[in-house]
Amino acid sequence: MPRWFRRRTSDDDAGAAPSPPAPHRDPAPFTDPERDALAAHGFALFAGRIVLDAEPPLPPARLDEIERACAGPLPTALRELWSTTAGGRLDYDLDARVGDHLVALSWNELFFRGSDGYRDLDGWMAHELELAEDAAREHGTEPVTRLDALPIGGFEYLDRIYVRTAPGPTAGHVDAWVQGLPPGWPHALHGDAVLPLADDLRSALADLHLTHDPLDPERRYGAGSDLLDRLEQARAAGLDPALADRLLAHYREAVVDWRALLDEGRLAEDTRAARLALRHAVTTDDAALVARLHEVGVDLDGPLAGSARATDVALTHDAGAALAALLDVDAAVAPDLLDGIHGPISPDLVRRLLALGARPSGQAVTRCIEHGADASAGLLLAALGDRADEAEQHRARTLADLERTVAEVRSGRAGHYLTIDELETRIERLRGAARS
């Protein structure tokens, strides 16, 4: 958990800026009456983004009350947000780079007093003070009474967004805290981390985007579904259809249009768009697009999901054509890449990956057997050499796990993304490997 706290001094109080008048009207392509009509149906507009289930604005007295709990004055942008809406929900995508990881963040709550998430705004503020008090006792420092960083949003207990309030060069900066995942999650962050997002709240909100067009008929989940549901409800409740259509058009301006940038020859200049284009190429097994992205100068070796690079993602999506195209242009191959086998990989690809430094493993052999790629399993087993016992040990563990899973699914105690028939096919393949 973050511990960004220090004691507020009388000098800090003396230097506090006066509160701007409320309510704030953020520039947007809607008139004041239109904004009021949208607010009546739970939509608020701020920094080019839409807040759903928006609460009424905070009165100046409440803003001042929150400020008194902080180490310095509330940044102007935060006051303006809260004088537009006290909080609500966001329906966008967000990611941040930390070292060699690309971390997907869930910022779908704007905390407010009485919000029904894991904690409300007051609860998160109290939680942060408790952490600060624990740290002060541990280190024998003065008790902490004010927050250096204010938790304003996030998702349950997993992701949290903070605005720094302590006077100094980082005042107003926005950071995220993310909870690390267990070691069993490959490519994920395995420890809690603090990620810098932006120098101010408006920039942080502008970084919210849409990876996919919510009107794409092939897109059945992800950001956009909540907004479409709220709009449908609002139309049924009397929102002017033309105004609803304009709000949807405004929302869709956040879609990252990598195809247009590619056609204009500017894709390599936009890191996020280039990354989304590359991810689309590998997850859809589009070898021609991989080659074109290479031709226009897109970086093929940066992280696409956690620490997973394009070659990792292609392998886990069983995208053999895209993976071969990546290898053709010398994309990076991680030593543990073969552990991500998730389909019937061809012997040719296995040979190429081994030659490029991917190491064989018992897990890779087992994965090949599960997917019926016996020739590839044989190549990997031979490459293991005197470590061949690793393959048998992994096969036996996996077989036992699958047999337990089938029993639990049959009894109704558990579910699985594979059908019973698919699970039993894998079990039979693993049993057959033991007999051969």
Tens digits of residue pLDDT in 408-426: 999 999 899 999 999 999 9
pTM above 0.75, yes or no: yes
Collapsed DSSP state (helix, strand, coil) of residue 93: strand
Q: Which of 93, 94, 92, 82 is nearest to 44 (CA)?
A: 82
pLDDT at 93 over 90: yes
| Secondary structure tally for the chain: helices H, strands E | 18, 10
- Average pLDDT of the segment spanning 67-93: 95
Of the candidate ranges 10-19, 114-123, 202-211, 256-265, the one whose mean pLDDT is the lowest: 10-19
Q: Which of 324, 306, 232 is nearest to 41 (CA)?
A: 232
* Percent of the chain residues past pLDDT 70, beyond the cut: 93
Strands (DSSP E) found in 293-403 = none
**Which pLDDT band, with edges at 50, 70 and 90, does 376 fall under?**
very high
pLDDT at 1 over 60: no
pLDDT at residue 187 in the model:
83
pLDDT in tens, 281-305: 999 999 999 999 999 999 999 999 9
- For the chain, the structural domain boundaries read 10-252, 256-332, 338-436
pLDDT at residue 24 in the model:
59
pLDDT at residue 23 in the model:
53
Q: Is the dihedral of CA 336, 342, 347, 352 positive or negative?
A: negative
**In whole angstroms, what is the distance from residue 12 CA to residue 222 CA?**
43
- Count CB neighbours of 134 within 10 A: 13
pLDDT at residue 16 in the model:
42
Residue at 100: amino acid letter:
D
Total residue count of the chain as it appears in this document: 436
Q: In whole angstroms, what separates CA 136 from the centre of its chain? A: 32
**In whole angstroms, what is the distance from residue 319 CA to residue 326 CA?**
11
Query: CB-hemisphere CA count at 13 Å for 89?
Result: 15
**Which pLDDT band, with edges at 50, 70 and 90, does 14 fall under?**
very low
Residue 28 tokens read as: 């947007």
Residue at 13: amino acid letter:
D
Residue 418 tokens read as: 């594979």
pLDDT at 140 over 80: no
pLDDT at residue 363 in the model:
95
pLDDT in tens, 163-201: 999 999 999 999 999 887 777 778 877 778 888 999 999
Q: At what angle do helices 389-411 and 362-370 cross, to 10 degrees?
A: 50
pLDDT at 20 over 70: no
Region of residue 379 (left: phi > 0; alpha: psi -120 to 50; beta: else): alpha
> 90 near 154, Cβ under 8 Å?
no
pLDDT at 314 over 80: yes
**Which pLDDT band, with edges at 50, 70 and 90, does 324 fall under?**
very high
> 301 near 310, Cβ under 8 Å?
yes
pLDDT at residue 217 in the model:
82
Which H or E run includes 196? Answer: strand 193-198
Residue 292 tokens read as: 């074109």
- Count CB neighbours of 399 within 10 A: 21
Q: C-alpha distances in angstroms, 264 versus 246, 296, 417?
A: 27, 11, 41
pLDDT in tens, 342-370: 999 999 999 999 999 999 999 999 999 99
- Average pLDDT of the segment spanning 112-130: 91
pLDDT at residue 26 in the model:
67
Chain mean pLDDT for the chain: 89
pLDDT at residue 28 in the model:
65
- Average pLDDT of the segment spanning 43-64: 95
Q: Which of 403, 379, 401 is nearest to 391 (CA)?
A: 379
Of the candidate ranges 10-19, 114-123, 368-377, the one whose mean pLDDT is the lowest: 10-19
- Average pLDDT of the segment spanning 95-109: 89
pLDDT at residue 4 in the model:
34
Q: Which of 408, 315, 312 is nearest to 367 (CA)?
A: 315
pLDDT at residue 139 in the model:
79
pLDDT at residue 109 in the model:
96
pLDDT at residue 370 in the model:
94
